[in-house]
Amino acid sequence: MNASIADNLAQVHAQMQAACLAAGRPEASVRLLAVSKTWGPDAVRQAHAAGQTAFGENYIQEAVDKITALRDLPLEWHCIGPIQSNKTRLVAEHFDWVHSIDRLKIAQRLSEQRPAHLPPLQVCIQVNVDGGETKSGVSPQDLPALAQAVAALPNMQLRGLMTIPEPAESEAAARAVHRQARLLLESLITQGLALDTLSMGMSADMAPAIAEGSTLVRVGTAIFGRR
């Protein structure tokens, strides 16, 4: 096993533990998603040998090749990148989770194309909480209608929200943006949706995300290094 990947994972878990402690949350309330995009199967095997089981991928064809090569391992695969209509079948057939739903058409295709022998696809809706012009995601105003429509689809289970906010100038500013996402999730729950997932926070903003209720942080470079 590559000691650096194992060491890096241990450091990330220590940072998560410290953030949970500071927020008064149990460490088990936040999961780590290792973002393995652009890294080959060997790197994923090394991370799995160090105890990591959930992996996030942005590029669908690259991910499918990797998933196929690693079928011998009990891994959980999360699609965290944008999905074009011509790629929905690949996602529906190979992934366990999708974080990046931002329009109903894509959700409908994923639902229709999910193979019957697989469990429901676990999905999050990507919300553009801070209005970043270059960011994907549904607007907060359009979120409630989309969430209700996605939750009604068969072959998938709506679990919560995902965000990729613009870099913040301070921890307070980062917390304010993450708080918006948490409040949106709580609002959807009051509308009757059974949601439990906030996919928010990466290497740079893990602590403020955890402080505001993130249940899943997405970390790549701090685990695998730079390409």
- The pLDDT tens digits along the chain (227 residues) read 556 999 999 999 999 999 999 999 999 999 999 999 999 999 999 999 999 999 999 999 999 999 999 999 999 999 999 999 999 999 999 999 999 999 999 999 999 999 999 999 999 999 999 887 667 899 999 999 999 999 999 999 999 999 998 889 999 999 999 999 999 999 999 999 999 999 999 999 999 999 999 999 999 999 999 87
| pTM of this structure | 0.96
Token pair in block for residue 152 = 């009604």
Token pair in block for residue 173 = 């500013």
Buried residues in 69-89 as b, exposed as e (16+ CB within 10 A)? ebeeeebebbbbbebeeebbe
Q: How far is CA 163 from CA 19, 72, 140, in A?
A: 19, 31, 11
Q: Are 139 and 147 in contact (CB under 8 A)?
A: no
- How far is 172 from 100, CA to CA, in rounded Å? 26
**Which one, of 193, 161, 197, 194, lies nearest residue 177 by Cα?**
161
Concatenate the DSSP letters of all residues of 22-65 into one string.
HHT--GGGSEEEEE-TT--HHHHHHHHHTT--EEEES-HHHHHH
The bridge status of strand 121-126 relative to strand 76-79 is: unpaired
Give the start-end residues of each E strand in 110-182.
Answer: 121-126, 156-162
